[in-house]
Amino acid sequence: MLIDEPRPLRLDDVGDHPHSYGFPPEHPPMRSFLGVPILIRGQAWGNLYLTEKAAGEAFTSEDEEATVVLADWAAIAIENARLYRDVTRRRDELERAIKGLEATTAIARAIGAETQLERVLELIVKRGRALIDARDVLILLRDGDDLVIAAGAGRVRVSEAVRIPFADSTAGEVLTEGRSRRIADAHRELRVPAERLGVQGAEAALLVPLAYRNTTFGVLAAFDHVEGGEPFTRDEEQILEAFAAQAATAVATAKTVESDRLRRSLAAAEAERRRWARELHDETLQALGGLRVLLSSATRLDDAGAMRDAMRNAVEQLGADIQSLRSMIAELRPPTLDELGLGPALNSLAQRTSAATGLEVHTNVDLPADRRLTPELETTVYRIVQESLTNVTKHASASSVAVSVRCTPGGLEIDVTDDGTGIDPGAARDGGFGLTGMRERVDLLGGELNIEPGPTAGTVVSARLPLG
C-alpha cells in the first residue's frame, strides 16, 4: 500500500486495517505501525516501516516527522548509489564504444560505398580481428544444410572447398540459437576441429551470430588472442556482438543493394549515422580529448592546490559530458518511454527542451489511465512531438510552444502549436528529412498529418492517428 499510495501511514493496530492479511506462524507481535514511502524523483522505490513502539504506545506525529526525514536520507543514499553505478556503467560503455567506433564507422561506410560482397566480408574479418586483438577470424555463411567459409583474416587458410554440416557443428548451434558462445577449450568444446576450418592450434574461441532483421544467416568466429591463449572476456563478446550487428547489416545490404527501396532506406540510415557520428565527433570525442589534455596537465603539476583545482575542473567537465551523453541516449530511445509510458516521456522531453533552449513548453497529455497504447503508437507520437519541438527550437524563433496529446472517440490527436514566425507553405508541403520522417510514420499507421500556419502567428503541427 505504501508503494501504490505513497504517503505516511500510522496505525494503532495494524491488524484492524482493511488491507491487513495477518501473519504467518511464529511471526513476532506487530500492533502499532508507522510506515513511510522512500521516494526518488517522485517515484516510490521502497518503504521504511516501524512496529511495536515501546511500552505499547502508539506512534506520534513527531515520530512520523522523524521517520519521514530518515526515509528522505535513505532516498538520497539510494539515488546517489544508483547514480554512481550508472555513471560507472556508462563510462565503461563509453570506453567500449570509443574502442569500436573506428571499426563500426568503416563498416557503415562500406554499406554505402561497396556493392561487392567479397570486399565487405574482407573488411569485416580484418576490422573484427583488430577490434578484439584476435589471432584469427572467420566468417561462416549458411548455404543450404552446410556452413561455408566466406572470408578469413590472420594465419587462417581459407578454402572454398570446406563445407561444415550445419546440424553437427558448434557454429550451427550458435546460428540456430542466435546467441554468442565463448569457448575456453577449443579442443574439447568445438564439435568440428578448428584445424578443419584452417585454424591451427586454437585454444580459445568466440562465436557470434550474424543476424539481420531477425534472420540469422552466418557466424563470426574469432580464435585466440594475438598475445596469448587467454579466453575471450565478456566485454570482448559484447564488443564483437555490436560489431557483428553492423557487419550483418553490411552483408545483407551487399546482397540486395540493387533494390530501389533498400537504397532509399540506406540513404536514410546513412544520414542518421552521419548525424550521430558528427554528434559523437563534435561533442563526445572533442570533450574526451579536452579532458585528456586537462588530466595530462594535472599530472605535471607540483602544486597540490593547483592539481586539486585541475582535478576538480576535470570532474566538472566529466559531469557535463555525462549529461550530454544522457541527452543523446534519450534522443535515440528515451528510457522513460519504455519504463513509464508516453505521458511521462513527453513531460520529460518538454522539461529537457525547456532547460536546454529556454523555450517555454506547456504539455497537456490525456491518455487512458487503465492501459498503455501499443509500442508502435507510443513511439510514433513521441517522435512526432520530438521532431516538432526540434523544428521550433531551430527555425521558429518562438518563445513558447504548447503540446497536446489526447484520446478522442475518433482516435489519438496530437497538436504542437508555437508562437514563432510561422512556416513557409512550400517547406510545410515538401519538408526536409525530419518532416518526411514524420509523414512516413503517420502514413504507416494510417493517420493524417497537417502542418499549417497558426491562427494569429506561429505554426500548428496536427496529427490524427487511429487507436486500433
pLDDT digits (tens, 9 = 90+) for 403-417: 999 998 889 999 999
Residues 364 and 405 sit within 8 Å (Cβ to Cβ): yes
pLDDT tens, 325-370?
666 665 566 777 878 889 998 998 899 889 888 899 999 999 988 8
| Cα gap 422→323, rounded to integer Å | 32
Tell me the backbone φ, ψ of residue 352, rounded to 5 degrees.
Answer: -65, -40
Domain 9-83 matching CATH 3.30.70.100: the answer reads no
* Cα distances (angstroms) measured from residue 222 to each of 152, 164, 287, 456: 10, 17, 33, 64
Domain spanning 114-258 has what CATH number? Answer: 3.30.450.40
**Is the confidence at residue 62, as pLDDT, over 80?**
yes
| The one-letter amino acid at 219 | V
Tell me the three cell numbers of residue 355: 532547460
188-197, 212-221, 423-432: segment of lowest average pLDDT: 423-432
Please list the alpha-helical segments (H only) found in 18-60.
Answer: none
Residues 170 and 208 sit within 8 Å (Cβ to Cβ): no
Q: Is 300 exposed, middle or buried (0-12, 13-18, 19+ CB in 10 A)?
A: exposed
Coil, helix or strand at residue 258? coil
Mean pLDDT of 378-383: 88
CATH class of the structural domain 335-465: alpha beta
pLDDT tens, 5-55?
889 999 999 888 888 888 888 988 889 999 999 998 888 889 999 999 988
Tell me the three cell numbers of residue 379: 513511439
Mean pLDDT of 241-255: 76
| The one-letter amino acid at 448 | E
- Which of the residue ranges 66-70, 160-164, 284-288, 383-387 has the most confident prediction, judged by mean pLDDT? 66-70
| Cα gap 67→59, rounded to integer Å | 11
Neighbours of 317 (CB within 10 A): 16
Strand order through the sheet with 146-154: 163-165, 146-154, 134-143, 215-225, 205-212, 181-183
Q: Is 386 exposed, middle or buried (0-12, 13-18, 19+ CB in 10 A)?
A: buried
Tell me the three cell numbers of residue 21: 492479511
